Structure 1
Amino acid sequence: MKQSNKKHILARYLLVVGFMLMFSSLIIYDTFKTTVIYAHQWESKADSLWLDTTEIEPERGKILADNGTVLAANMNFFTARVDFGSAGIKDDTLRRYLPALCDSLAAFDPNKSKTAAQWKAEILEARAKRKTSFRLFKKLSHNEFEHLKQFPFFNKRQRESGLYAEKQNARCKPYGMMASRSIGNVSERVDTVYNKATGRRRIVSHGYHGHSGLEMALDSLLYGVPGKAQNIQLTNNAVKWSIVPAISGYDITTTINVQLQDILEEELSSMLKESNARWGTAVLMQVQTGEIKAISNLEWNEEAGDYVEGRNNAVLGYEPGSVMKPISMMVALENGTVKNIDAKWETGAVWNYCGRPIKDPHGGAALSPREIIEMSSNIGMSKITVQAYGNNPDGFRQQLVKMGFFEPYHSGIGGEMEPKFAHLPNNNGGRVALTRMAFGYTTEIPPLHILGMYNAIANDGKYVCPHLVKKLSRAGEPDSIVPVRYIRRQVCSPENAAKLRQCLHDVVWGPHGTARKWVQSDLVEIAGKTGTAYIIGKDGRYGSTKRLAFCGFFPYSHPLYSCVVLMLGADRGAGASSGVVLKNVALKMYARGLLDNKSDYRVTAAGHVPAAPTLYATDSKSRAANLNNGIGLKTAKVLARPGAGASKVVPNVVGLSAREAIGRLERRGMTVRTQGYGYVVEQSLAPGQRFTRGEMVYLKLKN
């Protein structure tokens, strides 16, 4: 019996040993095959893994205002998460700190989307399911994440709390929608690569590039130069070692002035709302340099229920209407058709030319070139143009080509279009089209090109190129400055430019000027031209909806700024809509002393300060008594101050943009400090509480 058991044990032992020997033999064989037979293949694969290089994306450059204020820049954000499956988390510790933690999370949440009880329920559920990725908040700044780490339970070591962050890079605009369309946006550029060997497709990223506005137009400068990194094996781990460092993109200083941009956007938005227009665009430019100081594009958005930054209509082509007439008159002056702007031309109310009548709602029996522009006569402008080019209709376009009218500006605004004028045949159809071109139909001209020509009129005929870029810099050091560029040194003679300025002055100040009722101001003398163009409907015919334009410059005696405003579908005329926008912009600039004037007193037309004011008012009876008794004034009146009580309490600015909130608080007399970028989510002083003048209020901003 014992002998039999011994045999069974030996047999089992031999069987186990045999299996072990077989398994060992296979291991030895595979090791030999790997290290000897196929050694070169594995070594080649290892080399490819370690020697293969990867691309390092460069830091994208910033876009700055003319004074260095940041308009767009890369920012690092963090998504805060908790690994509730971490073995280091102890249930008793979590439950002990949970009430205080949930209170902190509820108070920290800027949107107040969850109560402390809801946070508690979600955290307990995540812990029960051992979730490895429970998201707390996204798009936190570095300071906000560091603050989160100080909360109860999270202030433990990372292994005991499970708190961690995912780093993300985003392009931010501290001023929100201000000039947003002109600044532009960025997005990741990817390609799908097909591998024939594996039959699989993979997505390859080429980094973040601009796809609109300045971000797109100057992408090659902003993006920088990618670097290269290689996988390197160190003692304890492998790292990516930079073998060719990435070169950061250029910081681009634009010509945009934040103060002027704010004024332009506010006035355009106000008029759009007042006139129920569909959209509006406006550009403000410095006359001598061509620097675009402000640009705004607003359109109605049904979902938002408000006017928002829309497509860049300033560089898209439209039939301009009568704002084309001064440009047609410039052609006539340059080719000698018009020499004396006061000489009369026979016009009339209807002119039948080549079988097609032209009606003139503003015309008269005979008008001078000055009156043709002042009263916006379609017949007058057509007759002048036909006299020069009736036998060669395409000659009008050819003359504009010589003047540089069709040359691209390369302004830095993405999507810029060139003016479109059809080549006209030498027949009746071409002659009829010529008359329409003379007063702004059968063409497509971007408002920016109209502004460029008006700016030349204001600039004694010097045709400077409108541009948005002022200088390039890298790492804080200037690299290059963009000089003033001329499309033509003289698009017209200084003498003809002076005549055109007089014509545009008459539009606002003449007895029959189409803008006299709305654009005149005793403070700023403005010259310009109204323009109205009916738009073509889906049926291919002109409907009742109009585009309304005003283009001009100010102050008239020494032009500093030129401006164009175009609106679609306003419920009033061009002067009362677009013209009023330009006038209000000019008045606000005057009030801030931005037109080479002193804004603290008014000077009369004769150049003398008025001897005495005509109105005295105060909200204090004691001050009124002092005025009446102390200096002998008998007209001082006591008036109630609107909202006097409200001005002594802190306003609610949560939800406002940074500039709106700062303006509202500083007007009350408070000192403001901000943290972060975007919109106000928290203010240190509660709304409604009283404050002392100069008291500090801290605003927390977040996109």
Structure 2
Amino acid sequence: MTSNKDKILLRYTGFIFIMGILVITVIVKAIIIMFAEKGYWMEVADRYVSETKKIPPTRGNIISSDGKLMASSLPEYRIYMDFVAAQNAGNDSTLMNHLTEICEGLHQIFPDKSAKEFRRHILNGRKKKSRNYLLYPKRISYIEYKEVKKLPVFNLNKNKGGFHELAYNQRKKPFGSLAARTLGDVYADATMGAKNGLELTYDSILRGKDGAMHRQKVRGTYVDIVDVPPVDGCDIITTIDVDMQDIAEKALVDQLKNLNAQSGVAIVMEVATGKVRANVNMRRGNDGSYYEMRNDAVSNLMEPGSTFKTASIMVALEDGYITPDYVVDTGNGIVNMHGSNMKDWNWHHGGYGKIDVTHILGYSSNVGVSTIIDRFYGNNPQKFIDGLRRMSIDKPLNLGFVGEASPRIRGPKERSYFAKTTLPWMSIGYETMFPPIYLLNFYNAIANNGVMVKPKFVEAISKDGEIIKEYPTEIVNPKICSDKTLEQIRTMLQKVVAEGLAKQAGSKQFHVSGKTGTAQISQGTKGYKSGKTKYLVSFCGFFPSENPQYSCIVSIEDPGGYPSGGVQAGSVFSRIAERIYAKHLYIDLSNAKDSAAILIPDIKNGDIGEAAQVLQALNINSNSSSIPASNAPIWGKAVNTTNYADLKQTAYNKQLVPDVKGMGAKDAVYLLESKGLHVRLSGMGKVTAQSIAPGSYLRKGQTITLTLKN
């Protein structure tokens, strides 16, 4: 009889045997799968894992010197509906139950289409059983996309609700065309990189590095698996100041419109650092409006005309041939130069007769300058060319822009034949070619005590808000001339504006130094007088004369009317300089007032709550402490005495047009628009008149015109 012990042992042995067989089977099967069936199972795996794809990085931002975003990559979306997916997931009835709510929501987000249009459109897609039905014809912003995703059914994932999107990485410029050619453009296909401007120059920094990912099926659902994360591009901080760019663009475009000119350039540069604060390049389009089409400031090679005379006079001063008092007999304004007549602009009025070098430059006398240069360098033209190059006026700056041009000064060594007439005409700005920024850089060196610095468009590179690289100021030439020559030419350039032909470029607020230019534009092989004669008018200078902070050049091509660098370009320079001076340069009043004097600023009417904060911060005698702190505007008027500022709150009847006289534009526009009026402005300064009388009954939608004066 078998004992219980033997039975248990038998069962245990059987269990061990069966388990051993299973283990051996698993091992054998694993070996077969790993080796014999490897190819088959690799094919199966490939069906569940998609190919590796690139993950594009986010392109870096371009930022102004004052911290404003000038170019950025922002996501845009096209939104679609997969009606089959919604039906398969059992959500078709949910879609129909919420259709009215969905259509009303879409209309609120996209007011250009009514709720009825959205309803008709969605029902049409549902009827067609479309799997990729475009819900809205335009690309939408990220904010709009997030709002759409909040709607019923659309807030479900793609497989359940059917709503899905296609994302685009769109390059946006918040300030529109402002400095557009300086910033540059990128291709619509981000993988192709940039086209031009700073976008192209710094493409390798802005672009970033691609990542890598693959899709793998897990539990019946494809999942994106990141293998290598993308590295987003760095930001570049430019030297452009948005306010100065806006000032320069408005001043230039206004003049281009007045003159119906073909194109114009305005550049503003910081004297000590070479930072380009504004770079405007406007050309007339086929519709008569002006656009930034090319970076003419660095690429447009033109004969500079009379702005080049400054360099010619400096060479002769530096070589010791002349002084500011040196006299030239310009006669009746016409002199024969080796068989060709050299004329002054006023030759038909009898010319200037005998004048010294200071007046030669001030009156921009062609005869005077060409006579000096031909007299002292006619037998050795190369010495004049060497003198120009000693000042680095034609040294390539290598600014890094596509299409950048370099100056062309061709002396006897660069020509097979150097005619006798070449030197006189070269001395007054012909027979040479310069992009505007090179002329500006030369004048900037005069303003900068003879130190020529390289124009700079980018200050630094940043990553995640931290500066990782700074671009220092580069010195092109530590001293373009002697201190004596520098002092003489700066005195003369100031007199050109104060007493000469460039009075329009001056200001009553500060002294300006510079030189006008008016040059005929060559028509290539057709010469200068083929058909209509074209001109390039310009003014190049710096301000304030005694302690220069900014240099600026304005050049206008093919202006209408009588061509005049002083009037047509100089007046633009003046408007730019005065507005920059008002916004960015400050006068130290500590030496201008008596120690016992009390200065009460002129306070505009309007939001006296803001005025109270300023008066308290400046510790100015006033009743500002009686004005309560408030996030909303506190409307009122200010009454000033010699030693006290009295702020008085005003109550406005909601049904009547308020009195905004004495207010600044900001407060006046805010107050009137808050009451439903449309506002038009004319002039600058305080409001002095309003087209709808104060106290009139208010009708929303009316347009009110405000006249402002300083």
TM-score in terms of structure 1 length: 0.74
**Corresponding residue number in structure 2 for 1:495:** 484
TM-superposed deviation, 1:248 = 3.3
One-letter code aligned to 2:109: F
2:456 corresponds to which of 459, 464, 467: 467
1:332 aligns with 2:308: no
Aligned pairs for 1:201-350 (under 5 A) are 207-227=191-211, 245-303=229-287, 305-316=288-299, 317-338=301-322, 340-348=323-331, 349-350=333-334
**Corresponding residue number in structure 1 for 2:574:** 583
1:73 aligns with 2:109: no
One-letter code aligned to 1:80: I
1:476 corresponds to which of 459, 465, 481: 465
**Corresponding residue number in structure 2 for 1:452:** 441
Matched residues in 1 for 2:79 and 2:297: separation? 42
TM-superposed deviation, 1:465 = 0.8
Aligned pairs for 1:45-56 (under 5 A) are 55-56=54-55
Q: Is the 8 A contact 1:460 1:493 kept in 2?
A: no
Matched residues in 2 for 1:652 and 1:346: separation? 70
Matched residues in 2 for 1:38 and 1:207: separation? 41
List runs of 5+ in structure 1 lacking aligned partners: 1-33, 190-205, 632-637, 669-685, 691-703
Matched residues in 2 for 1:624 and 1:238: separation? 69
Task: Note closer, same or farther for the CA distance 1:42–1:90 as it changes in structure 2 (3 Å cut).
Answer: closer
- Encode CA deviations 1:159-182: one digit per residue, 9 max, x unaligned: 554211112112221221111110
Share of identical aligned residues, percent?
A: 31
- Encode CA deviations 1:532-572: one digit per residue, 9 max, x unaligned: 12223477232422211111100011100000011123235
**Corresponding residue number in structure 1 for 2:368:** 380
TM-superposed deviation, 1:436 = 1.7
TM-superposed deviation, 1:48 = 14
Task: Note closer, same or farther for the CA distance 1:46–1:376 as it changes in structure 2 (3 Å cut).
Answer: farther
Root mean square deviation of aligned Cα:
4.6
Between 1:367-376 and 1:148-157, the stretch displaced more is 148-157
Aligned pairs for 1:11-90 (under 5 A) are 55-86=54-85, 87=87, 88=89
TM-superposed deviation, 1:467 = 0.8
Aligned length: 599
Matched residues in 1 for 2:74 and 2:338: separation? 64
- Encode CA deviations 1:226-264: one digit per residue, 9 max, x unaligned: 455577887877777655554433321111112212211
**Corresponding residue number in structure 1 for 2:107:** 106
- Encode CA deviations 1:617-675: one digit per residue, 9 max, x unaligned: 999xx9999989x99xxxxxx9977999977321899999xxx99xx9x999xxxxxxx
Q: Is the 8 A contact 2:677 2:702 kept in 1?
A: no
Matched residues in 2 for 1:538 and 1:488: separation? 33
Between 1:63-72 and 1:552-561, the stretch displaced more is 63-72
**Corresponding residue number in structure 1 for 2:146:** 146
**Corresponding residue number in structure 1 for 2:24:** none
One-letter code aligned to 1:286: E
1:528 aligns with 2:535: no
Matched residues in 2 for 1:584 and 1:607: separation? 34
Task: Note closer, same or farther for the CA distance 1:396–1:624 as it changes in structure 2 (3 Å cut).
Answer: closer
TM-superposed deviation, 1:301 = 2.2
Task: Note closer, same or farther for the CA distance 1:252–1:165 as it changes in structure 2 (3 Å cut).
Answer: same
TM-superposed deviation, 1:454 = 0.2
- Encode CA deviations 1:505-539: one digit per residue, 9 max, x unaligned: 111111xx1112x2232202111111112223477
Aligned pairs for 1:404-415 (under 5 A) are 404-415=392-403
TM-superposed deviation, 1:466 = 0.7
Q: SS at the partner of 2:98?
A: helix
Q: SS at the partner of 1:548?
A: strand
Task: Note closer, same or farther for the CA distance 1:647–1:241 as it changes in structure 2 (3 Å cut).
Answer: closer
**Corresponding residue number in structure 2 for 1:672:** none
Matched residues in 2 for 1:293 and 1:654: separation? 37
1:122 aligns with 2:125: no
Matched residues in 1 for 2:162 and 2:547: separation? 68
Between 1:406-415 and 1:462-471, the stretch displaced more is 406-415
1:567 aligns with 2:561: no
Task: Note closer, same or farther for the CA distance 1:44–1:81 as it changes in structure 2 (3 Å cut).
Answer: closer
Q: SS at the partner of 2:83?
A: coil
Q: SS at the partner of 1:563?
A: strand
Between 1:350-359 and 1:416-425, the stretch displaced more is 416-425
Matched residues in 2 for 1:496 and 1:608: separation? 44
Point out 4+ residue stretches in structure 1 off by more than 6 angstroms: 34-53, 230-240, 425-428, 601-604, 606-613, 615-619, 622-628, 638-647, 651-656, 686-690
Q: Is the 8 A contact 1:650 1:687 kept in 2?
A: no
1:162 aligns with 2:158: no
Aligned pairs for 1:614-633 (under 5 A) are none
TM-superposed deviation, 1:352 = 1.2
One-letter code aligned to 2:122: I
Task: Note closer, same or farther for the CA distance 1:416–1:115 as it changes in structure 2 (3 Å cut).
Answer: same
- Encode CA deviations 1:350-376: one digit per residue, 9 max, x unaligned: 121221111112452222221111001
One-letter code aligned to 1:85: V
Q: Is the 8 A contact 2:109 2:147 kept in 1?
A: no
Q: SS at the partner of 1:484?
A: coil
Q: Is the 8 A contact 1:548 1:566 kept in 2?
A: yes
**Corresponding residue number in structure 2 for 1:519:** 505
Matched residues in 2 for 1:139 and 1:411: separation? 36
